[in-house]
Structure 1
Amino acid sequence: MTLRTAGQPRIAIVGGGIGGLATAVFLHREGLPCTVYEQAPQLAEVGAGLVISPNAARQLRRLGVMETLRERAVQLDTGWEFRRWEDGTVLSSENLTDACERLYGEQTYTAHRADVLNAIKAQVPPESVALGHKCVGLDTGATPRLHFADRRTVEADVVIGADGIHSVVRGALFAATPATYSGICAFRALVPAAKAPEFALRPAQTLWIGPDHHLVHYPVSAGELVNLVAFAPAGDYTVESWTATATVEEFLAEFDGWDRRLVHLIRAAGTPGRWALLDRAPLPRWSEGGITLLGDAAHPMFPFFAQGAAQALEDAAVLARCIATGLDDLAGALKRYEELRIPRTTRLQTVSHGRSHINHLPDGPEQRERDAAFAEHDPLVANAWIYNYDPDVALEGGVTAQR
């Protein structure tokens, strides 16, 4: 049953991933009880690694989980290390150790998604999580009503759809629009450190780029594992699922002719996951009445700027504050939330989409021009608009937090 305290709204969060749980923590910090409805019988993160950029670390610290997470996360010494596909020539490399905290007040880390989820979960009161609740429908009337697969129903004053790229809540709010076929698929795997080549164990985020492909690796789980994710032409593959798999041979075939060191890394990966990147245009609005969206349900984006989880955390921080300061007009509070967030997430969706073309240029004049530009480019400074963002400043009418 959705928790209700006298004089406070009933708040239901659909989805117990990073964004949904972070929203619950931020709401509780504002003195607002809520219930997270998760379809799985236990909270667990499907997936592998993620980059915790300074804007994400800022929110994790405010959630009170950063010190715990540091026990399992890996602080990066090097980021944006671009290498040429055929021989590993370093095209650019960013020293994060000194510059990152000086510029943004936080370091950059890599972590296993499960470690991030577990750290946030520990801050959520157990009675605020309802497991085994698969949402299958939503009535969008004056009082929203959630319908679950076991025929249970729940009414709430506020419904937050944090239920991912296949969001039931989004489907109830807006007419279904089919995803666009991107022509790109991704492979992912976790490699035990004991089996990984030495070059992949460094505290570095490394991106190998080449014609129609790129491959990223970095350590996670206190250095016990290496996260590996690679992008390639999808052909006729259109399955968008984090649980679909490929074979090592299929993975290797995509990187035939690349630096031989990558062969060792891929072979050590075991059975890789594989999913298609399907493109979705940014939504012009996220809310209707007492219902809104958050994270991938609101703004699914290509992973090329590593901002999916970071933007869900930012959403959570802003949404909680908007609700807490707008209890007399909840629909207005949700509108304020989307007005604050949509311009930023739309921009990130757009730049993430365009990055695949840059990374996947065929060898030739345009590729050589790009490689030369890498040597002169400082991505840590150039992306200040991403890393400087502070929800508190945005709520007060600013854009970034100058640190």
Structure 2
Amino acid sequence: MRVLIIGAGIGGLTTALSLHAVGIEALVVDSVSELRPLGVGINLLPHATGELSALGLADGLAELAVATAEVVHLDRFGNEIWREPRGIAAGHDWPQYSVHRGKLQAMLLTAVRDRLGPDAVRTGLRFVSAADTADTTDAADDTGGVRARLHDRRRDTYVEFDADLLVGADGLHSAVRAQLYPDEGPPRGDGIRMWRGVTPAPPFLSGATMMFAGSNHAAKFVAYPISRALPSDRCLTNWVAEVRMPAAEEDPADWNRVGRVGDVLPFYRGWHCAGLDIDALITATETILEYPMVDRDPLPRWTFGRITLLGDAAHPMYPIGSNGGSQSIIDARVLAAELARTGGAREGAIGYETVRREPVNDIVLANRDMPMDRILRTVAERAPDGFGRIEDVLGPDELAAITASYGRTSAGRGRSPHAGGAAAR
């Protein structure tokens, strides 16, 4: 069996490693001319960490990432609303990790080239179209294949690749998804603008804390370390600013758009939370990225013959609950397991979708309606000048709802029931 993977992000590279582990040939192509360690911080939930560990990547992850110990919610004045342990501290078999996305991608890329060969990932090839060459739609009939047409950007020519299965892992603006759903339109926004950055800063709280402050009804700030302390006694700190803004007429989700300090800073003047000077943290950031918070409506179908979708191409979601990269990893592991179990490309792809689509679509919808965000807004409304005891602001049921809202999105829903890591236990 031969699988062509469109997209060399976290999902695509993990798919290649997972397929190799079960004896299936894979080739990854990406439209960029060079894969560089770009981006900012992301989080991997314990079940995703377990799956990467099952691929022999546990030591590499431990060197790159910070094992998150707790999540803490504060109001804009730094008063504590709620906290809960994470990862090993919460009793999981595997850590929850905070890591630089580009460094994680680079680690996966190195592993793919080491295990599958130096030509297993090819760049400068843009997906144009694909067609199933089989004469039947019967999943049990595994004759035929899929032919992909790609644009070779270096030579400005078109090339064709034949495979048994094509996997669209090409992200939010997936060209593969656009072929399957040509009338879908742009991503769906919710009126929140995000600015993101990474900068050295003094460790705060436990040194392994994910901190949320404020409310995204107005302005919310998220920060967490993605490296151990540097010789300067600082660590690389990832931060996210979320501000509800009037809708823009044209606001494309461009992950590489550079933002301006002067646009984000006015919303956080005077904020000091968990020992962090938010104003100084933003000002010290060398490169700020700016884009809207967007997702897409859940799809009724991912698999069309020998073409299927994976990761953000299948289920882009709001960056809530640490699910983006985590669910892509689970997708990859389940797809490989189903292809190995069934022995057929079409049947395996349908089995993968059967396992994954509904649980992950539920997460997409759950991320749109987080009780946690409503409660944080309630705190801001009831105690606009801060508070002494959160019990004087929120009742027991409201506090319990925060824990429940996290459970809907980050406690392992959509995990693999039979892949190799912690999610199988």
Q: Could you tell me the TM-score, scaled by structure 2's length? A: 0.82
**Structure-1 separation of matches of 2:266 and 2:49:** 36
Residue of structure 1 in register with 2:289 after alignment: 273
**Structure-2 separation of matches of 1:97 and 1:37:** 33
Contact 1:201 1:218 survives alignment (8 Å) = no
Residue 65 to residue 267, structure 1, CA distance change in 2 (3 Å): same
Residue of structure 1 in register with 2:81 after alignment: 91
Q: CA deviation at 1:308?
A: 0.3
Of 141, 146, 154, the match for 2:148: 146
Residue of structure 2 in register with 1:165 after alignment: 172
Q: CA deviation at 1:95?
A: 3.2
Amino acid at match of 2:68: L
Contact 2:169 2:311 survives alignment (8 Å) = yes
Residue of structure 2 in register with 1:337 after alignment: 352
Residue of structure 1 in register with 2:39 after alignment: 47
Contact 2:70 2:86 survives alignment (8 Å) = yes
Of 369, 373, 376, the match for 1:354: 369
The reply on whether 1:247 has 2:260 as its aligned counterpart is: yes
Across the two proteins, how many residue pairs are aligned to each other? Answer: 384
Of 7, 16, 37, the match for 2:8: 16
Contact 2:172 2:313 survives alignment (8 Å) = yes
RMSD: 2.9
The reply on whether 1:206 has 2:189 as its aligned counterpart is: no
Deviates more, 1:362-371 or 1:11-20: 362-371
Structure 2: runs of 5+ lacking an equivalent: 135-144, 153-157, 230-234, 385-389
Residue 125 of structure 2 aligns to a residue in which SS?
A: coil
How big is each residue's C-alpha offset from its partner over 1:15-47, in whole Å with a ceiling of 9 and x where there is no partner? 001100000000000011110011223333431
Residue 346 of structure 2 aligns to a residue in which SS?
A: helix
Q: CA deviation at 1:145?
A: 2.2
How big is each residue's C-alpha offset from its partner over 1:28-78, in whole Å with a ceiling of 9 and x where there is no partner? 000111100112233334311011211111111012112112112111232
**Structure-2 separation of matches of 1:153 and 1:13:** 14
The reply on whether 1:188 has 2:201 as its aligned counterpart is: no
Residue of structure 2 in register with 1:4 after alignment: none
Residue of structure 2 in register with 1:235 after alignment: 246
Residue 137 to residue 229, structure 1, CA distance change in 2 (3 Å): same
Residue of structure 1 in register with 2:227 after alignment: 221
**Structure-2 separation of matches of 1:272 and 1:241:** 13
Residue of structure 2 in register with 1:319 after alignment: 335
Residue 32 to residue 371, structure 1, CA distance change in 2 (3 Å): farther
Residue 370 to residue 277, structure 1, CA distance change in 2 (3 Å): farther
Amino acid at match of 2:60: T
Contact 2:74 2:214 survives alignment (8 Å) = yes
Residue 382 to residue 135, structure 1, CA distance change in 2 (3 Å): closer
Structure 1 runs (4+) deviating above 4 angstroms are: 365-378, 388-392
Contact 2:359 2:414 survives alignment (8 Å) = no
Contact 2:207 2:225 survives alignment (8 Å) = yes
Residue 220 to residue 20, structure 1, CA distance change in 2 (3 Å): same
Amino acid at match of 1:147: R
Of 245, 264, 280, the match for 1:264: 280
Deviates more, 1:251-260 or 1:295-304: 251-260
Contact 2:322 2:410 survives alignment (8 Å) = no
Residue 294 to residue 358, structure 1, CA distance change in 2 (3 Å): same
Residue 361 of structure 1 aligns to a residue in which SS?
A: helix
Q: What percentage of residue pairs aligned between the two structures are identical? A: 28
Residue of structure 1 in register with 2:163 after alignment: 156
**Structure-2 separation of matches of 1:141 and 1:359:** 53
Alignment of 1:9-158 (within 5 A): 9-79=1-71, 81-85=72-76, 87-96=77-86, 99-100=89-90, 102=91, 104-124=92-112, 125=116, 126-142=118-134, 143-150=145-152, 151-158=158-165
**Structure-2 separation of matches of 1:279 and 1:96:** 26
Structure 1: runs of 5+ lacking an equivalent: 1-8
Amino acid at match of 1:205: M
Residue of structure 1 in register with 2:139 after alignment: none
Deviates more, 1:259-268 or 1:14-23: 259-268
**Structure-1 separation of matches of 2:239 and 2:219:** 14
How big is each residue's C-alpha offset from its partner over 1:110-138, in whole Å with a ceiling of 9 and x where there is no partner? 11112211222232122311122121333
Q: Could you tell me the TM-score, scaled by structure 1's length? A: 0.86
Residue 276 to residue 378, structure 1, CA distance change in 2 (3 Å): closer
Contact 1:46 1:242 survives alignment (8 Å) = no
